Structure 1
């Protein structure tokens, strides 16, 4: 059993308010009229277990959640590939929330990575590309 509550009637958004896409997505979720929980990782500490569950829900490694192309990452860790264990990647996310590659939405058991505000609109529109499952 995971530690992240999953409710098919609620949207949960993990995002960083330190980037413009995160701010836009938060505004969309807040104005959606749907039950929601927004978690701004720049203000709320996300545990290692939660990060692991988010990565697993997306079928990714924790390292895949970090934007290694971000200028702040390159400044701190260089241009070459970085070889860290999961704890190292977790420390990066906790110390530098702006390095979260994409916002993550959970609805029911579905984990979706959002790269733009329009992704959220598409996800919430049941007629769009069959992304949202009828509940």
Structure 2
């Protein structure tokens, strides 16, 4: 697996087996942005890629894993990063949230509102404008009226 960090393309690392992962993918697709979805159930990042990701996030891989979703695991056990990659490979649905990358920007998200902020979209699905730009207050489509 290659992690693409090009401008104008967003890479989303997520687990499709979770409710959050399914809804995240649907929301991201609805934004009409260029998104490369990397489902870790299908293609797991390498140890080196995980190391790079957590370094850029300034987190530990331990912070990205919900240990309560792993069978027969004591939540208080401390693991090495290499072991955590193996655990995540065996239990991909234990990934907490998702990781979004674009160019040099990386973010670990656990809420849908964070996804909308990352995509620079407000909750109505409209692209935000800068504060000095005039807002659009007229219909942009035919046969539609504003109240």
Return 5+ residue gaps in structure 2 as ranges: 124-129, 131-147
Q: TM-score, normalised by structure 1?
A: 0.81
5+ long unaligned stretches in structure 1? 129-133
Tell whether the 8 Å contact from 2:116 to 2:122 is kept in structure 1 after alignment: no
Q: Which has the higher contact order (CA 8 A, sep 6+)?
A: 1
1:78 aligns with 2:78: no
User: Following the alignment from structure 1 to structure 2, what is the Cα–Cα distance between the partners of residues 101 and 67?
Assistant: 6
**Larger helix proportion of the pair:** 1
Residues in 2 aligned to 1:117 and 1:98: alpha-carbon distance in whole angstroms? 17
RMSD: 2.2
8 A Cα contact 1:46 1:94, kept in partner: no
Residue-pair matches, total: 124
Q: Distance in 2 between matches of 1:39 and 1:83?
A: 27
The answer to whether the 8 Å contact 1:4/1:53 transfers is: no
The structural deviation recorded for 1:89 is 0.5
Give 2:89's aligned residue.
94
Q: Equivalent residue for 1:12?
A: 11
Query: 1:45-87 deviations in whole A, cap 9, x for unaligned?
Result: 221111111111211112222112x2x32x42124x1111111
Q: Which structure has the larger Rg over C-alpha atoms? A: 2
Could you list the per-position Cα deviations for residues 1-54 of structure 1 after superposition, in whole angstroms to 9, with x for gaps in the alignment?
A: xx6321121111000011111111111222221111000111112211111111
Detail structure 1 runs of 4+ shifted over 6 Å in the superposition: none
TM-score by length of 2: 0.75
